[in-house]
């Protein structure tokens, strides 16, 4: 019985991945769209199943659990994206273990990430998190302050500023995604827009997203315990 359940589970993850990829392919986009499998709370076994199905990009929110997983998969060629809120005392571990950081929202954090990035690892790819709906409870830079933080980050030696990330209010995502598309068009040297999750990835891609972050529709419902 246990054997049977295990088999079912891995079939499920690879089938889910196929479905999400075909949803992505169904939307016309001028850019190549990269699927990031959000693996927060998931075990190395679940991640392995996604890897076996060809998945390369993974997103994590919680530093402690993510470092364990990154170490477990060392040498497998996976690309790790930090997508959670950043406490400034955690920047060293983020700079040392991740390939991308989507959630940079203040210059202090950006400066620490640059100072603590080992140049031998190459530049750390960063996105500025934008609080597009001006929600008080959400982290991110307000749109009118983006210009200033862009030029500050561009001057940091060990970071490569690639673009923006946003988590809009679900009921307003169409407008918010359009606003982000407008915003990035003002910065021709930025090439990445991280937006769209399980529920709204099609609308995000139509508005120029090239990094979509999907958890639930790949791995099933999360349980936090």
Ligand X SMILES: *Cc1c(COP(=O)(O)O)cnc(C)c1O
Q: Which residues lie near ligand X (CB under 6 A)?
A: 38, 40, 61, 83, 167, 197-198, 213-217
- For ligand X, the nearest residue by Cβ is 215
Of 54 and 170, CB closest to ligand X? 170
Of 38 and 126, CB closest to ligand X? 38
DSSP string covering 177-213: HHHHHHHHTT-TT--EEE---TTTHHHHHHTT--EEE
Nearest alpha-carbon partner for 43 in 73, 75, 87? 73
Residue-wise burial string across 49-63, b where 16 or more C-beta atoms lie within 10 A, e elsewhere: bbbebebebbbbbeb
In which region does residue 163 sit, left (phi positive, over 0), alpha (psi from -120 to 50) or beta (all else)? left
Nearest approach, Cβ of residue 27 and ligand X (Å): 17
Of 53 and 197, CB closest to ligand X? 197
Task: Look up tokens 């673009």; give the residue.
Answer: 163
Nearest approach, Cβ of residue 41 and ligand X (Å): 9
User: Contact at 8 Å (CB) between 84 and 72?
Assistant: no
Nearest alpha-carbon partner for 35 in 16, 13, 57, 18? 57
Of 42 and 112, CB closest to ligand X? 42
Nearest approach, Cβ of residue 116 and ligand X (Å): 22
Nearest approach, Cβ of residue 145 and ligand X (Å): 20
Report residue 25: phi and psi, to 5°. Answer: -65, -20
Of 40 and 69, CB closest to ligand X? 40
Nearest approach, Cβ of residue 199 and ligand X (Å): 7
């Amino acid at each position: 019985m246990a054997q049977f359940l295990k088999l079912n589970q891995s079939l499920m993850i690879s089938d889910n991945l196929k479905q999400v990829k075909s949803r992505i392919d169904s939307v016309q986009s001028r850019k190549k769209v990269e699927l990031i499998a959000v693996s927060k709370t998931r075990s190395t076994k679940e991640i392995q199943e996604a890897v076996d199905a060809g998945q390369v990009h993974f997103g994590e929110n919680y530093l402690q659990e993510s470092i364990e997983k990154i170490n477990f998969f060392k040498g497998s060629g996976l690309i790790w994206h930090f997508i959670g809120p950043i406490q400034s005392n955690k920047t060293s571990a983020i700079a040392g273990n991740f390939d991308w950081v989507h959630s940079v929202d203040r210059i202090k954090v950006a400066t620490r990430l640059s100072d603590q990035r080992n140049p031998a690892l190459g530049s750390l790819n960063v996105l500025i998190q934008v609080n597009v709906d001006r929600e008080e409870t959400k982290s991110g830079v307000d749109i009118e302050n983006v210009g200033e933080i862009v030029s500050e980050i561009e001057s940091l030696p060990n970071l490569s500023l690639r673009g923006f990330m946003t988590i809009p209010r679900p009921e307003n995502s169409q407008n918010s995604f359009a606003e982000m598309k407008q915003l990035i068009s003002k910065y021709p040297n930025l090439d990445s827009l991280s937006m769209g999750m399980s529920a709204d990835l099609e609308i995000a891609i139509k508005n120029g997203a090239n990094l979509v972050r999907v958890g639930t529709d790949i791995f099933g419902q999360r349980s936090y315990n």
